[in-house]
Structure 1
Amino acid sequence: MKLVRKRIDPNDPSTLVTGWFDPIGFDATTEEDIARHIAEDEADAMQDAARYARRVRKRLGLSQAEFSRRIDVSIDTIRNWEQGKRSPTGAAKALLKVLDKAPEAALAALS
């Protein structure tokens, strides 16, 4: 690989680097490609949320049934989170974060 040094003068716009992109690849991207990429990203995010919910429960050493009882959420909801069918949002997401960072305090407050 060849290394090239370039002097940039902020007062001379012709010396400024404008960035690089692949115009052929850019033009070849279709709306279907974009939609597929978005769907793949959303599926990855759902799996990340599922792994996180499962990890929090397992760190507490609780079964799904016990975990659902302790945080007052239905067992079906816990299963859906852990299987990636649904993702915790809002207060549930915040509760998982608190359970992850300060489990004793969170469980004591929920008792």
Structure 2
Amino acid sequence: MAPIHPDRPIDETARPEGSFCARAMVQRVRWGTGLTQDAFARTFHLDADALCEIEAGRTLPDAALLAYLQVIEWRPEAVLDALEQGNRTI
């Protein structure tokens, strides 16, 4: 069996038009931030092991994580502000 390389680029041309690839979406969002898996997980309060499993294609993210990732992609600064505010009130 070939080794799994979670940071290997995904060939978007190999998937059928209109299909959704959760692994590709997760990687795209993380890569857009320029962060490693560990740094992304720490920054956005995610489980690093779960993130690795998703990017490796061994598990699928739930709907809540997909929605959270979309917000991170669209407005990362808003997410960071909200997380910072939450840390101050705890």
- Shorter-chain TM-score tier: 0.5 to 0.7
What SS does the corresponding residue of 2:64 show, helix, strand or coil?
helix
Per the TM alignment, residue 70 of structure 1 is displaced from its structure 2 partner at its CA by 1.5
Of residues 31, 40, 52, the one that matches 1:58 is: 31
Query: Which position in structure 2 is the counterpart of 1:19?
Result: none
Cα distance in 2 between the residues matched to 1:101 and 1:54: 15
Equivalent pairs: percent with the same residue? 35
Query: Alpha carbon RMSD of aligned pairs, Å?
Result: 1.8
Name the aligned partner's letter for residue 67 of structure 2.
Answer: A
State TM-score, norm by structure 1: 0.54
Q: Compare CA radii of gyration and give the structure with the larger one.
A: 1
For structure 2, the residue ranges without an aligned partner over 5 or more in a row are 1-18, 85-90
Of Structure 1 and Structure 2, which has the larger fraction of its residues in helix? 1
Of residues 49, 70, 77, the one that matches 1:104 is: 77
State TM-score, norm by structure 2: 0.65
Name the aligned partner's letter for residue 104 of structure 1.
Answer: E
For structure 1, the residue ranges without an aligned partner over 5 or more in a row are 1-43
Name the aligned partner's letter for residue 54 of structure 2.
Answer: W
Which has the higher relative contact order, 1 or 2, with Cα contacts under 8 A spaced 6 or more apart?
A: 2
Name the aligned partner's letter for residue 36 of structure 2.
Answer: S
Name the aligned partner's letter for residue 91 of structure 1.
Answer: A
Q: Please say if residues 65 and 75 of structure 1, whose CA atoms lie closer than 8 Å, have aligned partners that are also in contact.
A: yes
Query: Which position in structure 2 is the counterpart of 1:67?
Result: 40
Per the TM alignment, residue 107 of structure 1 is displaced from its structure 2 partner at its CA by 2.0
Moved beyond 3 Å, runs of 4+: none
Query: Which position in structure 2 is the counterpart of 1:82?
Result: 55
Q: Please say if residues 70 and 110 of structure 1, whose CA atoms lie closer than 8 Å, have aligned partners that are also in contact.
A: no
